[in-house]
Every structure is written in C-alpha cells, then in structure tokens.
Amino acid sequence: MSAPAKDTLLNPSEAVAHLQTYTRSDGLSINELMDSQVHGGLTYNDFLMLPGKIDFPASDVITETSVTRNVVLKTPLMSSPMDTVTESEMAISLALLGGIGVIHHNQSTDSQAAMVRAVKRHENGFITDPVVLSPNHTIADVLDIKARLGFCGIPITNTGFLGGLLVGIVTSRDVQFESPSMPLYEVMTTSLVTAPQGVTLNEANIILRSSKKGKLPIVDDQGRLTSLLARSDLLKNQNYPLASKNPQTKQLYAAAAVGTRPNDRDRLELLVKAGLDIVVLDSSQGNSVFQIEMIHWIKQTFPKLEVIAGNVVTREQAANLIAAGADGLRIGMGSGSICITQEVMAVGRPQATAVYAVAEFASKFGVPVIADGGISNVGHIVKALALGASAVMVGGLLAGTTEAPGEYFYHDGKRVKAYRGMGSLEAMEAGKPGSTSLANGKPGSTKHAPQPTSAPHENAATTRYFSESSVVKVAQGVSGDVQDKGSVKAFVPYLHVGLQHSLQDMGCRA
C-alpha cells in the first residue's frame, strides 16, 4: 500500500475518533474464531489473544472464580486426580495457595479417606501425619529427611510410627556435628513439652509460645503421639492469604475423585464422613447412565455435597449431566500430555473448541466449567479462561514438584519423578493382589505403620475407561517422567502472577 499524500493525512489528535469509521474491531470476536463450521476444531496453540489497554497494575487483577455453584477459589487452579499428581500433600499445598487439589482414587478407600481428613484438619494447625522415626534410626536418616522434605524437627516413638509411645524428639541442633551413623536414642531430647489430645488450637499455641519450642507433640492419655503442632504454623494465615477455605468452618476445602460403580457409593460415604466438600466423578466419558445415576444418588444422599461431573466435550454431553444435577463440569477428552484417547479411540475434540462450546452452554444454567488437559504454560491457562472456563485442571504441569507423590530419581542426568496417565497399562495394574508396596522405602516417607497405601483395591484407572471387565486392556495413556520443578509453594505463585500479567496485557481486571 502506497503512503498517502501529505495533504490527505488526518490530524493525529483524531486517531481514536477515527476508529469509529471502521465497521468492525481489529481481529476476530470469540464467536467468529470458534465457529467450527468455518475453522474446524482449535487447540490452545491455534490462536492468540489481542492486547488491550493497560490502565491498572497487574497486582489489581482479581483471579477469584467459582469452580462449582457454591465453591469460590481465589486462584483458578486445580490439580488432577492422578496417582502421580495429587495426594494429601499436594491437596494441602494447593488449597493454601488458593487453588484446590483433587485426591485420586487409585488407592484403598481407607487411604483416600485418611488423605481427606489430613486436608480438613491441616488448617486447624495440627499436623495429623507427621514424619516419625524410632530411637534406632540414625542421624543419617534425619539428614536424608531434611534433604528431601526440608525439615528435621522429628518426633521419636517407640515404634517409629504415628500412634507409638512418644519417647523423644530430634531437632537440627541435636544432630549438628555428630556422626551420621549415631543412633537417635543417643542424641534425642527426652525432656518434652506436650499437650493432651483434644486441646484446642488456641490452647496449643499458648503452650507453644510459652515453652519457646519449635514443635509441640500432641499425645493421648497413654502418651501415644497423635499429631504435632509447629511454630511455623502460627504464621500460616499470614503467609497464605489466598487459602481456599470453607467460609463456615474456616477449614481448607477438600476434593476427591470417585468412580461411578456401586462400590464407589460406599467409598463416597466414608469420604463424606472424613469431611469431603467436593466430589469429582472421574470418567473419561461422562455422558453415561452410570454417571447420571450416580449424580441422582449423591444429590439425594448428600444434598450439600458439591458434584463436579464429566468429562465432556460437547453441549449434548453437558446437557444430560446438568439436568441430572451437576454443580460443575470437567471438560476434556484426550487432550492431556500423557493421554492418547484421541489417537487410540478416535474419539474426543480439540480442547479450545470443547471448552468454548461447553462453557457457552453451561453458563446459561449457572454451571461453572473446568478445562481439564492440554495446559502446559501460563498462556494456556489464560486462553482456557478467555474461552469461558472458570478454572483449569492440570496434571503434568504439577507433576515433578516436591508435593507430587513419589520419589525423585535421575534419568539422563536430570532429577525427575515418574508421571503416568490414568489410562496407562501401569496405572491399570495398580491395586492388584501381589502389587502391594509402600510409597517408598526411605525412613520418614511412610508416616504411619505399614497400611493400605497400595493394598489390593478396585482399580480406578480401569473403571475410569470402562474396561474393568475386559481381559485385554487397551492403553489410553502413557507413562514417563517429568523434570523436578521444585515446590508448588514457589511454582503456583509464579503461575498466578503470570496470569495477572497476561490479563493486564489484555486490559482485563478480572
């Protein structure tokens, strides 16, 4: 295009007003972009957002959002119910940071219920699953725990497990300058300040302050360790202003996944007794009679329990679950980094198109939607929210963090953790007789006496993909490893600030 002659140039002061002469705004509207008849199906990588005008600081951007009809979070981030992503440590940490973690159900019912209880009790200030050692462990074991978990104030019981008779405590000062091979009974502090079981948080805090100790063991009437209070927890509310709490109980929100089979009703009853706030019905294809019947039963049995149904990728799927009573929907089918459903089953939908279509429909009924899968960076989070999602659910993005289940190991010179899709053959084999094992064999990593962390149980992976009765299992996911990302307590704030800056670039305050 040739430059206009100088005598035809417009007055620069009229530039903004001149925009009104254009019949349409620059770029495409969301409706035009997501017209499947024109553009087909789109993924997050198929488009960009146009910038807006910045007239506010990024810190002013509000990220508060509803994930169900009645649950509001400060950060639109949820962790996926995968056995290499979300157990109690991840769920607690995410809730403190304003999101929520969905505890997986590829484990025994008792184990999952214990994790829900741990989440509900954590913000009360009491550590209900402290790392415990025995007098016969060594200083090397304490140093290993400090290297892996970041602390070394450890209660000592006669059994080495929670529930054993409290006989001492070891702190960093006790192990300094000592031989790593020295047993703990030679260095542990045996003159202890304790509090009785049933003590309130305020009472325990007073004891902790007056004793000037770093840890306060809580014991029952027989002297057995039941929980622990740490001085650092006194500052928790100041350190985590975005924490996801039930406004009535002031406890952290707890979410967990279950399947849609008859046994899952018994599982859910125990989870509700443990304090569950949100149940996620975990299925690769949510539009089934099994899930619809499950929603009806839940709403009749536990009317106050929030139900997130799914997964869905079409309006037609969503309509049946909304009509059944779902309080939220999970969107995505085959879009995750370790999910191969679209390739193997030839069923699914590009994630951006799926999120837009379902969110547009569900919004008419006041049902929030969660974009599940395909999120690998801050930009993908922003795009999902711009398409109508209330929050995103991530797996691979949080796998490899300190709070994810499993131990670190080295692969090709990199520090990694295992990560697998719930449709992988490995996940489908979990819980079978003969496959029992503890989470790992290192002292301090199994916080209770050996119990059913992976005892025989109904496999969540096979029920999720409707293949529990199939002799031949067809994989819809893969296994691998992901690089160490550090703690979510540093990583999630990075994602949150990145989200604020992205929305600022678009000129959006919320």
Q: What residues act catalytically?
A: 339, 464
Residues 6+ apart with CB under 8 A from 34: 42, 352, 353, 356, 357, 387
Q: Inter-axis angle of helices 109-122 and 88-96, to 10 degrees?
A: 30
292's enclosing H/E stretch is helix 289-301
3-state class (DSSP) for residue 329: strand
Residues 6+ apart with CB under 8 A from 192: 166, 168, 169, 217
- The answer to whether residues 242 and 100 touch, using CB atoms and an 8 Å cutoff, is no
Closest CA to 88 of 276, 238, 249: 276
Task: Find the radius of gyration of the CA atoms of the chain.
Answer: 26
- Look up residue 17 and give its two tokens: 């007003």
3-state class (DSSP) for residue 391: strand
- Tokens 């443990």 map to which residue? 274
477 beta partners? 339
Closest CA to 258 of 466, 475, 464, 465: 464
CA distance 34 to 36: 6
CA distance 333 to 199: 47
183 beta partners? 138
Closest CA to 358 of 323, 392, 327, 330: 330
